[in-house]
């Protein structure tokens, strides 16, 4: 049954998009009760409005902190129309019913994001607005609540179509209201708990985009978050679940490099990675590591894509290319194939926490932003790595950190030669990397080896030595570290410990 709206409380921070909704309510002969600037706005549209102060008999006090927290307002919202006791008390205290509430909240998140002072941010914690929203949502049986400017258009459609609301409408908007309030409270909690010893899992991602499907076509998928804050899509079809997973892996790895670098990712592992004097050179070196796996991969650079690089990249079939900038002509060439996604990376990935669903709960951890540096290295062999080897070892360790465990990376001269990833045995990971390097024509003589965790036995350094690998980087920490060290010393190998393990499951 359609319920008529006779009386509306309106109190909003942002007025954009409000006018059509107000005008529609006026055409339905609704009475307006409002506050401050919102009341002035309604008057400017040519409609009568009753100030909240007239309704409550109290002025706005404490710098505007208290103006709607009054029984005449909250009682008007919360009274149940089908309860005789409520009706009796409403008559006794002369509290008129309020049928609709239009309220948005002070911009707490926006103020915090802009780096406002603590005083400014705290003053943007809305008390009256959140109380009105929750009260109206609780009493959805009788009250229609619009809790965000994003809901104006849909609310207007309901009123235009039905000249009032049905219970299903009020229930739907009540659910949206509690989504708004829970998101708001989560943002406040996240701000206040900084530097406090409080561990709670509270995340509210807000709006989402529906993906074409999940990991596989029979699975539904969605992304919750603000991808637009990090990337602008310049070309191509909507990104998929797997696209996003691979793009994040690529972005995390490329972020390790300050020098010009190029990375190619397939199934979240780098199948190509290299540094170079130009983007073109870095791309060519990265592609050479695995010309087969690069097909349909995700590509990322940390420098502007110029025409020379674009001409090379254009011949490859790929899903995504991301970079911080593009030359205009290069972009037009790359966009000539409509399905390939071209992304402009606007910001680096932020530090913070990572989450993963597991069993019936959530795993949480800090993001591993530790990059192994020369100052971390502890040379444990009699011979020290040469400066060129140290550079190669640190390059390899960056890639190894972002490869699925167990992982081994073989590299030389700023180029990934091959990696063994996701193996249950570290020896298997090494053998996989060796076989792959040889498949693509690389000699391992003078190459370096990186491991994401320690060697429990000397078998990996023994195998590496057979292939001509003479420098190794690993975390160390095995009870049998000395066996690997002794072998290296006996075979003129150099080995450095970092002290940091980089498992990636």
DSSP letter for each residue of 144-204: EEE-SGGGHHHHHHHHHHHSSB-HHHHHHHHHHHHHHHHHHHHHHHHHHTTTSS-------
Structural domain includes residue 487: yes
Residue 185, pLDDT score: 92
Give the per-residue pLDDT at 207.
66
Collect all residues with Cβ–Cβ distance below 8 Å to 227 and sequence separation of at least 6.
Answer: 209, 239, 244
Residues 141 and 26 grouped into a single domain? yes
Cβ count within 10 A of residue 420: 26
Please indicate, yes or no, if residue 202 is contained in any of the structural domains: no
Q: What is the pLDDT of residue 23?
A: 95
Our answer to whether residue 218 is catalytic in this structure is no
Same domain assignment for residues 137 and 246: no
> What is the predicted pLDDT for the residue at 487?
97
Query: Contact at 8 Å (CB) between 58 and 70?
Result: yes
Q: Are residues 381 and 341 in the same domain?
A: no
- Counting Cβ atoms within 10 Å, is residue 349 exposed (0-12), middle (13-18) or buried (19+)? middle
Residue at 143 is within a domain:
yes
Tell me: do 168 and 83 sit in the same domain.
yes
* Domain annotation covers residue 147: yes
Q: pTM for the whole thing? A: 0.81
Would residue 441 count as lying in a domain? yes
Where residue 257 sits, what CATH number does that domain have? 3.40.140.20
- Of 146, 163, 192, the position where a domain reaches its end is 192
Catalytic entry in 138, 183, 335, 438: 138
Residue 201's pLDDT is 76
Same domain for 52 and 135?
A: yes
Among the candidates 345, 364, 394, a domain finishes at 345
Alpha helices in 255-302 (DSSP H): 279-288
The two structure tokens encoding residue 81: 């129309």
3-state secondary structure of 132: helix
Sheet containing 144-146: which strands, arranged edge to edge? 50-51, 31-34, 7-11, 100-103, 144-146
Given a contact cutoff of 8 angstroms between Cβ atoms, the answer to whether 18 and 155 are in contact is no
Cα 261 to Cα 302: distance, rounded to the nearest angstrom: 6
Both structure tokens of 57 = 């008999």
Asked if residue 200 belongs to a domain, the reply is: no
How do the pLDDT tens digits run along the chain, 505 residues long? 899 999 999 999 889 999 999 999 999 999 999 988 899 999 999 999 999 888 888 787 787 787 788 888 899 899 998 889 988 888 888 888 999 999 999 888 888 888 888 889 898 888 889 999 999 999 999 999 999 999 999 999 999 999 999 999 999 999 999 999 999 998 899 888 887 887 777 777 766 788 989 999 999 999 988 899 899 999 999 999 999 999 999 999 999 999 999 999 999 999 999 999 999 999 999 999 999 999 999 999 999 999 999 999 999 999 999 999 999 999 999 999 999 999 999 999 988 888 898 998 989 898 998 999 999 999 999 999 999 999 999 999 999 999 999 999 999 999 999 999 999 999 999 999 999 999 999 999 999 999 999 999 999 999 999 999 999 999 999 999 999 999 999 999 999 999 999 999 9
Q: How many domains does the chain have?
A: 3
pLDDT value at residue 202: 75
β-pairing verdict for 378-379 and 353-358 = unpaired
Q: Which residue range(s) make up the domain with 484?
A: 374-497
CA pair distance 58, 53, nearest whole angstrom: 5
- Out of 147, 173, 192, a domain closes at 192
**Residues 154, 30 within the same domain:** yes
Q: For residue 272, list its beta bridge partners.
A: 264
Do 76 and 142 belong together in one domain?
yes
Distance from C-alpha of 245 to C-alpha of 155, rounded to nearest angstrom: 36
Gyration radius of the chain's alpha carbons: 31
Q: Is 267 a catalytic residue?
A: yes
Identified catalytic residue from 15, 47, 267, 333: 267
Residues 177 and 260 in one domain: no
d(C-alpha 304, C-alpha 329), whole Å? 12
Convert 47-58 to b/e letters by CB count within 10 Å (16 or more is b): bebeebbebbee
The reply to whether 423 falls in a domain is yes
253 touches 404 (CB < 8 A): no
Question: Cβ atoms within 10 A of the Cβ of 471, count?
Answer: 27
Q: Could you tell me if 321 and 385 lie in one domain?
A: no
Q: What is the CATH number of the domain that holds 152?
A: 3.40.50.1380
Q: Do 312 and 280 meet the contact criterion of CB atoms below 8 Å apart?
A: yes
Q: What is the pLDDT of residue 454?
A: 96
- 164 plus 243 within the same structural domain: no
Two structure tokens written together for 132: 């009105």
Position 206 scores a pLDDT of: 66
Same-domain status, 67 and 144: yes
Mapped onto helix, strand or coil, the DSSP state of residue 127 is coil
Q: What angle do CA 366, 369, 372 make, to 5 degrees?
A: 135
Q: Does residue 68 share a domain with residue 28?
A: yes
Q: Specify if 469 maps to a domain.
A: yes
297-301/261-266 β-pairing: antiparallel
Angle at 408 between CA 443 and CA 317, to 5 degrees: 75
The encoded tokens of residue 189 equal 């909690």
């Amino acid at each position: 049954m359609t319920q008529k709206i006779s009386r509306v409380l309106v109190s909003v921070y942002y007025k954009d998009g409000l006018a059509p909704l107000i005008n529609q309510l006026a055409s339905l002969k609704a009475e307006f009760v409002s506050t401050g600037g919102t009341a002035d706005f309604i008057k400017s549209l040519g409609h009568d409005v009753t100030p909240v102060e007239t309704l409550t008999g109290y002025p706005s006090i404490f710098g505007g902190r208290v103006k709607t927290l009054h029984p005449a307002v909250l009682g008007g919202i919360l009274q149940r129309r089908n309860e005789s006791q409520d009706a009796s008390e409403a008559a006794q205290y002369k509290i008129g019913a309020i049928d609709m509430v239009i309220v948005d909240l002070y911009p707490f998140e926006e103020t915090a994001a802009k780096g406002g002072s603590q005083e400014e941010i705290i003053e943007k914690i809305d008390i009256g607005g959140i109380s009105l929203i929750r009260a109206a949502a609780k009493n959805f049986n009788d009250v229609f609540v619009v809790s965000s400017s994003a809901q104006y258009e849909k609310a207007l459609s309901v009123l235009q179509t039905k000249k009032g609301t049905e219970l299903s409408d009020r229930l739907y908007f009540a659910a949206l209201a509690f989504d708004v309030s829970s998101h708001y409270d989560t943002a406040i909690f996240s701000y206040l708990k900084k530097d406090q010893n409080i561990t709670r899992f509270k995340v509210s991602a807000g709006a989402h985009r529906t993906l074409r499907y999940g990991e596989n076509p029979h699975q539904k998928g969605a992304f919750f978050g603000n991808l637009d804050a990090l990337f602008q899509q310049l070309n191509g079809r909507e990104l998929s679940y797997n696209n996003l997973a691979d793009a994040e892996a690529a972005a995390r790895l490329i972020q390790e490099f300050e020098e010009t670098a190029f990375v190619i990712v397939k199934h979240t592992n780098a199948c190509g990675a290299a540094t170079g004097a130009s983007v073109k050179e870095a791309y060519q070196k990265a592609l050479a590591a695995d010309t087969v796996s690069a097909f349909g991969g995700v590509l990322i650079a940390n420098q502007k894509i110029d025409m020379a690089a674009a001409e090379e990249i254009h011949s490859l079939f790929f899903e995504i290319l991301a970079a911080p900038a593009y030359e205009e002509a290069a972009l037009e060439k790359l966009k000539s194939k409509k399905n390939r996604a071209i992304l402009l990376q606007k910001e680096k990935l932020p530090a913070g926490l990572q989450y993963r669903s597991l069993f019936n709960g959530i795993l949480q951890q800090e993001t591993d932003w530790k990059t192994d540096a020369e100052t971390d290295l502890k040379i444990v062999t009699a011979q020290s790595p040469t400066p060129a080897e140290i550079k190669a070892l640190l390059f390899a360790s960056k890639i190894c950190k972002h490869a699925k465990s167990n992982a081994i990376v073989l590299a030389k001269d700023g180029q990934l030669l091959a990696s063994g990833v996701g193996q249950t045995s570290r020896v298997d990971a090494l053998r996989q990397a060796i076989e792959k390097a040889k498949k693509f024509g690389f000699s391992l003589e003078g190459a370096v080896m990186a491991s994401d965790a320690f060697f429990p036995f000397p078998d990996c350094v023994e195998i590496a030595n057979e292939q001509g690998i003479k420098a190794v980087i690993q975390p160390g920490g095995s009870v049998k570290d000395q066996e690997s060290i002794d072998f290296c010393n006996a075979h003129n190998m150099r080995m450095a410990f970092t002290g940091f393990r980089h498992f990636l499951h």
